[in-house]
Structure 1
Amino acid sequence: MNDRGLVVVLEDERAIAEMERLYLQQAGFGVHVAADGQAGLNDIRRLSPVAVIVDIGLPGLDGTEVVRRLRADGDWVPVVFVTAHDSEIDRVLGLELGADDYVTKPFSPRELVARVKALVRRSSGPAAGSVRRAGRIELDEGERRVRVGGAEVALTTTEFDLLAHLLSRPGQVFTREQLLSAVWGIADYSGTRTVDVHVAQLRAKLGDPDPIRTVRGVGYALEAAG
């Protein structure tokens, strides 16, 4: 039963696409597969999925350009990048383009499904929630909206959850490991650079004065005065 919603998979390697389809369907998702970037972009716009899994190395329109165009359209559907490249440059580029998560081939299909489930759960949010404020920042948990100085700011699912966690205790310093665990649900702390990249993206969107304080060698805190 496909009761979790539809996931669009953009993958040109048939065996990998079928593996992803099988595991996602077993987890209760509907799955639509496209092997071409432009066709996949059109399908995402047409189908409004709950999440998208995008292989970076797609024919025609590559995965990074697919996500770039989605974000330019104001579509903030949760996105997981899949790629054969594991360099820091690739990872940082993917996150800067607006991806929420990133896995490299070969990957565990169970891990991929777990990450998709976590993203969908987080992006749907509670039916109702509190409104948190710190300085210029207002975060509505129920509507999953953020306003800075009264103007709405578009955030990815992960950026929203990162800000919400920092905002849960203004002034408290969270280590990168704590943020990875709380926001990404990751217990492998080798990828703390992921936190730094998302914080940088969040800072760019929140604007000046910078409300996030860096504690060198430790982590980050959201200033109550914002």
Structure 2
Amino acid sequence: MTHVLVVEDDPEIGPELAQALTGSGYRTALATTGAAAVDQAELDPPDLILLDLGLPDVDGVALCRRLRVVLPHTVIVVLTARTQEFEVVVALDAGADDYLMKPFRLTELLARLRAHLRRQAPPGEERTVSVGKLTLDLPGRRAFVAGHELALRPKEFDLLAVLAGRAGEVITREELMDEVWDANWFGPTKTLDVHVFALRRKLAEHGEDPQRITTLRGRGYRYELD
């Protein structure tokens, strides 16, 4: 499961952001000081760090530089108030991969995280896919909704991986049959509908909207983005 470290000292923003990320299927830790961030990053290296530049105990840019040395391959996204915009350029030079201006929308943040995590993994070797509350551990062939593992059959996992991996796209029935059951499948395509029904039920059992998987009559299916 993708691990995100939130470094934010604001008692209203930090816990709420960490909770939202956990609800979206990420394993999340929260640090409220620069010292705690370094300790947590070394103890349990995250895949991505959300770093507030306005910390009470250390300069945010200096912390960014130190984290980049400790974690050369971890994605670092800095969070900054509009009055701190000049710091963004310095933070990017210090090793940050991206930035978000406060206030920001959760949907925008999640989209940025997904994009960075996709780019982080080598082509064909993506480790996780996260959409909404769903997270897929591709090498481990495990699926989680808000941290709860789904009991999926092999073809259910394969189908969900294709749909979530191309979230926002319309995927035709023919494409899905070819990718999940292979191009030589001669059985009824009704099996696709049965598997989609099962996936919707299992998503709903753990609190995800079953209509994340949308039917486009006569065309195929689409796994909806936030």
Structure 1 counterpart of 2:33:
36
**Which one has more relative contact order, counting CA pairs under 8 Å at least 6 apart?**
2
Structure 2 counterpart of 1:66:
63
The answer to whether the Cα contact below 8 Å between 2:61 and 2:87 also exists between their aligned partners in 1 is: no
Question: Structure 1 residue aligned with 2:102, among 105, 111, 125?
Answer: 105
What is the rounded CA distance, in whole Å, between the counterparts of 2:80 and 2:107 in structure 1? Answer: 17
The answer to whether the Cα contact below 8 Å between 2:45 and 2:71 also exists between their aligned partners in 1 is: no
Deviation of residue 36 (structure 1)? 0.5
Q: Is 1:79 the counterpart of 2:76 in the alignment?
A: yes
What is the rounded CA distance, in whole Å, between the counterparts of 1:74 and 1:8 in structure 2? Answer: 12
3-state DSSP of counterpart to 1:75: coil
Structure 2: segments with no counterpart, 5+ residues? 127-226
Q: TM-score, normalised on structure 2?
A: 0.51
Deviation of residue 46 (structure 1)? 1.4
Query: What is the letter of the counterpart of residue 119 of structure 2?
Result: R
The answer to whether the Cα contact below 8 Å between 1:7 and 1:29 also exists between their aligned partners in 2 is: yes
Evaluate the alpha carbon distance shift between residue 126 and residue 91 of structure 1 in structure 2; reply closer, same or farther with a 3 A threshold: same
Identity %: 34
What is the rounded CA distance, in whole Å, between the counterparts of 1:86 and 1:113 in structure 2? Answer: 23
Structure 2 counterpart of 1:151:
none
Evaluate the alpha carbon distance shift between residue 73 and residue 85 of structure 1 in structure 2; reply closer, same or farther with a 3 A threshold: same
3-state DSSP of counterpart to 1:14: coil
What is the rounded CA distance, in whole Å, between the counterparts of 2:41 and 2:70 in structure 1? Answer: 12
3-state DSSP of counterpart to 2:118: helix
What is the rounded CA distance, in whole Å, between the counterparts of 2:106 and 2:21 in structure 1? Answer: 9
The answer to whether the Cα contact below 8 Å between 1:23 and 1:110 also exists between their aligned partners in 2 is: no
Evaluate the alpha carbon distance shift between residue 120 and residue 128 of structure 1 in structure 2; reply closer, same or farther with a 3 A threshold: closer
What is the rounded CA distance, in whole Å, between the counterparts of 2:125 and 2:48 in structure 1? Answer: 22
What is the rounded CA distance, in whole Å, between the counterparts of 2:38 and 2:24 in structure 1? Answer: 24
Query: What is the letter of the counterpart of residue 46 of structure 1?
Result: L
Structure 1: segments with no counterpart, 5+ residues? 130-226
The answer to whether the Cα contact below 8 Å between 2:80 and 2:88 also exists between their aligned partners in 1 is: no
Query: What is the letter of the counterpart of residue 40 of structure 1?
Result: A
Structure 2 counterpart of 1:91:
88
Structure 2 counterpart of 1:6:
3
What is the rounded CA distance, in whole Å, between the counterparts of 1:27 and 1:15 in structure 2? Answer: 19
Query: What is the letter of the counterpart of residue 32 of structure 1?
Result: A
Q: Once superposed, what is the RMSD of the aligned Cα atoms?
A: 2.0
Deviation of residue 87 (structure 1)? 5.6
What is the rounded CA distance, in whole Å, between the counterparts of 1:13 and 1:88 in structure 2? Answer: 18
- Select between 15-24 and 85-94 the one with higher mean Cα deviation: 85-94
Deviation of residue 128 (structure 1)? 5.7
Q: TM-score, normalised on structure 1?
A: 0.51
3-state DSSP of counterpart to 2:5: strand
Aligned pairs, number: 126
* Structure number with bigger Rg: 2
The answer to whether the Cα contact below 8 Å between 1:9 and 1:33 also exists between their aligned partners in 2 is: yes
Deviation of residue 38 (structure 1)? 1.1
Q: Deviations over 1:22-53 (max 9, x none)?
A: 22112210110010011111111211111000
What is the rounded CA distance, in whole Å, between the counterparts of 1:124 and 1:34 in structure 2? Answer: 25
What is the rounded CA distance, in whole Å, between the counterparts of 1:47 and 1:12 in structure 2? Answer: 20
What is the rounded CA distance, in whole Å, between the counterparts of 1:121 and 1:20 in structure 2? Answer: 21
Evaluate the alpha carbon distance shift between residue 125 and residue 93 of structure 1 in structure 2; reply closer, same or farther with a 3 A threshold: same
Evaluate the alpha carbon distance shift between residue 83 and residue 126 of structure 1 in structure 2; reply closer, same or farther with a 3 A threshold: same
